[in-house]
Amino acid sequence: MTDLSGPDTQRSPRILIVDDEVANVTALQSTLSRHGYETEGFVDPAEALASIERGVFDLLLADLMMPGMGGVELMREALARDPDLVGVIMTGEGTIATAVDAMKTGALDYILKPLKLSVVLPVLSRALTVRKLRIENAELAQSVRERTAELEVARAEAKFRLAMDAARMGEVAVDLRSEQVVHTPAFAKLLGYPADRRLSLAEIRECWHPDDRTRIIQERDVAIASGAGLFETEYRIVWPDGTTKWLTGRGQIIRDASGGAIEANVIYMDITERKWVEEKQNLLLAELNHRVKNTLATVQSIALLSRLDTPTPELFSERFEARLGALAGAHDLLTLASWEGASLADAVSRTLAPYVRAGKGAKRIAIGGPIVQLSPNAAVTLHMAFHELATNAAKYGALSTPEGRLDVRWSIDRTSAPVTVEFVWTERGGPIVIPPRRRGLGLKLVEQGLERELDGTATLRFEPEGLVCLLRLPASAKVAPL
Amino acid sequence: MSGVDPSLFGLRVFAVEDEALIALMLEVMLEELGCKVVGVAGTVPRALAQVETMGSDIGAAILDVNIGGEKVYPVADALAVRGVPFLFCTGYAATGIIEPYRDRIVLDKPYSKTALANALAPLAGKHPERHWHRSPDTGRTKR
């Protein structure tokens, strides 16, 4: 605080002298003028106060005892007008107590009358120093206040930027008359450019996805033409590297007093991931819808075909419900593997489980073969075909007598092209087989159905000692041996 | 049994359907409508081979859009080249059909026999040279 240079030191110190005796005022003015002070003198305290309001004084030198308004009151009034003003009270001997009181009201010092120059000058000089310190202090305080406010603004700005960056938001302002663009580094990144790249309006428009261009322009024109308020937009852009991204923008049109659009301020965010999830969800819903409809069509087929090969309504219900149960079983099997498929062994075991559980069955049913993975549709169809074969066996074949045996085995023929799954269903020990006169749904499904759907061959041999079903299924996406 | 639509009687229908049970039902429905099922294919290669063999001997075709994970469009192309009318059936929404077949009839699964008949009827008159099933007792041959 040693540097006291400032605007105040560039000019002479200004001192206001108030004393009810004109001679005192005149004497002080001439003496102090000679010592570099610029002075103004009054005998009337009210006039002195008016003068403080007009101009800036550094010091107030006031007589304590004056008629009307005393020095103490003057000092208080003067400080109310200029808090940095430094006051000095002049008083005669014997009234020091009053002078002390005066100092309590804000005067810096007092001088005893009669005045001696050797006393007055050092007191005034010291008062002047205090005045300078006060002014400097006030300036510093103001500067600190301003700097603090600046820092707060900067901190708020930094926080805002951090939030924008964290949310991967980019901000852009377009002057609608000059088409000049100001944008944040994050905005350049949203468009696939390095953060330090400054983009022109033409370059930004270049990013618009060709299919969304017309809509973007329409929406922009509507926003500019319509009233105030926020507008929202969602569209695709193409990065310089060719990737397509989705952006969502929320913005505002700034208008002049007559309502003309001056500037567009928009904050953008990348929503590619959200769009991707939405799209995936829609695909899943479409797929679910497809599967449900296909399943309904399958149920419809089972109903129609069951009606055709059953003579009585009672028998229809029984067969239809059994087939519906088999279809449900096939779906359970698929649900276990998230509808990605099932193994041939599972499809066979699940169909035959009721007969194995029935007791003695475990000994007479043998199932075995290498791992073959089935697609969901193939698993359903094979499951249904096995259900028909098992029902047939339980009614007329090997599973209808305690002595009957059922052998279900498969192997993989790797010498053929393509590799083929050879599946053999052999019934033995049941009643003597009489070939059926006509094929019901069950046998049709095994023969025609499997041949068509799995592109293989199916042969049913009604041998007297038991039914044999031979399937040759070429390896494919539907039937995949490991 | 609903009545047989006379315009469908004897129509030679080829079907591409990969699901065995649905294919069997389709066959039954077509026979009940008086159509002659000239072939049912469960895979795209099989279907292409059959179109190749039968050619324009097919009066109308019913194509399931999704055949074992493949799209049926190559079969549609082969039929279009031969001037054979066809329709699509699908469990997916009709919006899934690609150009240039967007204006073709799409039968939504599951479909009733009546819906099948209604979808087939416009195809029955469309073929430049209409194919009738050879009927031995009348001696009528395809005209």
Tell me: the pLDDT tens digits for A160-180? 888 877 777 899 999 999 999
CA nearest to A87, candidates A70, A101, A73, A75: A75
Give residue limits of the domains in chain B. 14-122
- How sure is the predictor about A4, in pLDDT bands with cuts at 50, 70 and 90? very low
Check CB contact under 8 Å for B18 and A453.
Answer: yes
Higher pLDDT, B95 or B27: B27
Taking contacts as CB-CB distances below 8 angstroms, the residues of chain B near A454 are: 42
Architecture of domain B14-122: 3-Layer(aba) Sandwich (3.40)
Q: Which residue of A has its CA nearest to B66?
A: A290
Q: CA of B35, closest CA in chain A: separation in Å? A: 18
Homologous superfamily (CATH) of A167-270 is PAS domain (3.30.450.20)
Q: What is the pLDDT of residue A371?
A: 94
Interface test with A, best of B2, B16, B21, B30 (most A CBs within 10 A): B21
- How sure is the predictor about A359, in pLDDT bands with cuts at 50, 70 and 90? low
Residue A362 burial (10 A CB sphere; 0-12, 13-18, 19+): exposed
- How sure is the predictor about B131, in pLDDT bands with cuts at 50, 70 and 90? very low
How many A×B Cβ pairs under 8 Å? 95
Taking contacts as CB-CB distances below 8 angstroms, the residues of chain B near A377 are: 18-19, 68
Q: Where are the alpha helices (DSSP H) in A55-116?
A: 71-81, 96-104
**Going along A135-260, which residue ranges are E strands?**
169-175, 181-183, 230-238, 244-255
Q: What is the pLDDT of residue A191?
A: 95
- pLDDT average, residue stretch A310-317: 87
Instruction: Tell me phi and psi for residue A244, to 5 degrees.
Output: -100, 135
**How high is the ipTM of this complex?**
0.80
Tell me: the pLDDT tens digits for A462-482? 999 999 999 999 999 889 998
Q: What is the pLDDT of residue A108?
A: 87
Looking at the partner chain, which of A384, A445, A477 has a beta carbon nearest the beta carbon of B68?
A477
Instruction: Tell me phi and psi for residue A272, to 5 degrees.
Output: -55, -45
pLDDT over 50 (residue B143): no
Check CB contact under 8 Å for A300 and B25.
Answer: yes
Give residue limits of the domains in chain A. 7-141, 167-270, 311-481
- How sure is the predictor about B94, in pLDDT bands with cuts at 50, 70 and 90? low
Two structure tokens written together for A388: 């028909």
Q: What is the pLDDT of residue B7?
A: 81
Q: CA of B88, closest CA in chain A: separation in Å? A: 14
**Which residues, other chains included, contact A247 with Cβ-Cβ below 8 Å and sequence gap of 6+?**
A190, A234, A235, A236, A237, A268, A269, A270, A271
**Fold match between domain A7-141 and domain A311-481:** no
Q: What is the pLDDT of residue B136?
A: 42
Q: What is the pLDDT of residue B3?
A: 53
Q: What is the pLDDT of residue B133?
A: 46
pLDDT over 50 (residue A141): yes
Q: CA of B56, closest CA in chain A: separation in Å? A: 22
Q: What is the pLDDT of residue A125?
A: 92
Q: What is the pLDDT of residue A15?
A: 94
Cβ–Cβ contacts within 10 Å for residue B116, how many? 22
- How sure is the predictor about A94, in pLDDT bands with cuts at 50, 70 and 90? low
Check CB contact under 8 Å for A290 and B69.
Answer: no
pLDDT over 50 (residue A242): yes
Q: What is the pLDDT of residue A10?
A: 63
Q: What is the pLDDT of residue A356?
A: 79
Taking contacts as CB-CB distances below 8 angstroms, the residues of chain B near A308 are: 28
**Which residues, other chains included, contact A454 with Cβ-Cβ below 8 Å and sequence gap of 6+?**
A378, A381, A382, A473, A474, A476, A478, A479, B42
Return the half-sphere exposure (C-beta side, CA atoms, 13 A cut-off) of residue A340. Answer: 5
Q: B91 at the A interface (CB within 8 A)?
A: yes
- Residue range A7-141 forms a domain whose CATH class is alpha beta
Q: What is the pLDDT of residue B140?
A: 42
pLDDT over 90 (residue B56): no
Interface test with B, best of A388, A452, A455, A457 (most B CBs within 10 A): A452
Tell me: the pLDDT tens digits for A209-224? 999 999 999 988 888 8
Between the CA of residue A403 and those of A92, A266, A325, what are the distances in Å? 144, 83, 27
Instruction: Tell me phi and psi for residue B34, to 5 degrees.
Output: 90, 5
Cβ–Cβ contacts within 10 Å for residue A278, how many? 12
Q: What is the pLDDT of residue A362?
A: 52
Tell me: the pLDDT tens digits for A402-452? 889 999 999 999 998 889 999 999 999 999 998 888 878 788 889 888 888
Check CB contact under 8 Å for A305 and B25.
Answer: yes
Q: Which residue of B has its CA nearest to A453?
A: B42
Looking at the partner chain, which of A286, A300, A452 has a beta carbon nearest the beta carbon of B23?
A452
- How sure is the predictor about A227, in pLDDT bands with cuts at 50, 70 and 90? low
Tell me: the pLDDT tens digits for B101-112? 988 999 988 999
- Most confident stretch, A58-62, A281-285, A334-338: A58-62
Two structure tokens written together for A295: 């399943």
CATH of domain A311-481: 3.30.565.10
Q: Which residue of B has its CA nearest to A285?
A: B92
Return the half-sphere exposure (C-beta side, CA atoms, 13 A cut-off) of residue A121. Answer: 10
Cβ–Cβ contacts within 10 Å for residue B42, how many? 26
**Residues within 8 A of A (CB atoms), B 29-88 only:** 29, 40-43, 45-46, 66, 68-69
pLDDT over 90 (residue B81): yes
Check CB contact under 8 Å for B42 and A441.
Answer: no
Rounded Cα–Cα distance for residues B122 and A452 (Å): 28
Which residues of chain A are at the B interface, by a Cβ-Cβ cutoff of 8 Å?
286, 289-294, 296-302, 304-305, 308, 375, 377, 381, 384-385, 441, 444-445, 448-455, 476-478
Tell me: the pLDDT tens digits for A181-207? 999 999 999 999 999 999 999 999 999
Mean predicted lDDT score pLDDT of chain A: 88
Whose tokens are 């493949």? That residue is B70
Do the Cβ atoms of A377 and A291 come closer than 8 Å? Answer: no
Tell me: the pLDDT tens digits for A144-165? 999 999 999 999 988 888 887 7
Taking contacts as CB-CB distances below 8 angstroms, the residues of chain B near A291 are: 91
Q: Which residues pair with A264 in a beta bridge?
A: A174, A253
- How sure is the predictor about A93, in pLDDT bands with cuts at 50, 70 and 90? low
Looking at the partner chain, which of B19, B24, B66 has a beta carbon nearest the beta carbon of A448?
B24
Check CB contact under 8 Å for B20 and A381.
Answer: yes
